[in-house]
Amino acid sequence: MDNNERAQRHGSTAPEGGQEQELLDRHIMNETPGQSNDERSQIDPRALILRQTLNHVQDLGMRSTRHLDDTYYAILERASSLRGSVTKLQSLFSETTNLRHRLDEDATAFERDVDVRYENDTEELKAYKTTVEELVARLDRAKEKIKRLDGSVDAARNKVAKYERMEEDKKGRRRWWRRCIVWGFVAVLVLWIAVSAMLQGRRTSQDEHDVLKMLDEL
């Protein structure tokens, strides 16, 4: 994903939070004419606290989402780099394996040739023997290099496996964070609905009280 898509994901929660903020502001400004200043002073602080809580939860959700997205893209970049390293190591391992096979075939053919020449010329055999020993030494060194390369490939595989486990753990933590954000938003929404219902009930009671008072005056 590019930076535009990342920005879209960061801003995906902004409209919902803005709508809730607008509704809350309308609720605060929607004052009943029959209410006294004391009743308004009792209602407004609760609505302000609810608005502050909603803003805090919205900000926390956006920051958490941004942090999780940045972590996710960093993990993808590291995974791509590790895959490239593993591919190079596998190619190097394949080349060294082919080299080892060629060296083994050359050494075997050379040993057969030495055996044939041994019967014809002892002096030549001595020279060939020296050459064979050098080739054997080179072959041993090549085998040692191949063993070291095998160890490097195994270490790379272990790193990749460890990285995959870490990635799974991070995915689990991201899922947990998302659940917390969702449940936090639900809790705030329920609280907002409850406060709205309570305020509406108080308005209804005040209206009934005003009607009864007017009837008594009549």
The pLDDT tens digits for 49-64 are: 888 888 888 888 888 8
Largest CA distance in the chain: 143
DSSP 214: H
Looking at residue 7, what is its pLDDT?
45
What token pair was written down for 48? 């302000």
Residue 75 has pLDDT above 70, yes or no: yes
DSSP-derived letter for residue 12 is T
Helix extents (H) in the chain: 3-10, 14-29, 37-118, 122-217
Q: Spell out the CATH class of 3-28+35-217.
A: mainly alpha
pTM of the model: 0.27
The gap from C-alpha 185 to its chain's centroid, in whole angstroms, comes to 22
Average pLDDT, the chain: 74
Q: Of 136 and 204, which is predicted with more confidence?
A: 136
Regarding predicted confidence, which is higher, 124 or 130? 130
Domain ranges of the chain: 3-28+35-217
Q: Are 86 and 157 in contact (CB under 8 A)?
A: yes
How many C-beta atoms surround the C-beta of residue 88 within 10 A?
11
Q: How far apart are alpha carbons 110 and 24 in whole angstroms? A: 91
Residue 6 pLDDT level (bands cut at 50, 70, 90): very low
Where on the phi/psi map is residue 14: left (φ > 0), alpha (ψ -120 to 50), or beta? alpha
Q: Tens of pLDDT along 151-169?
A: 777 787 888 888 888 888 8
For residue range 130-139, list pLDDT tens digits in order. 888 888 888 8
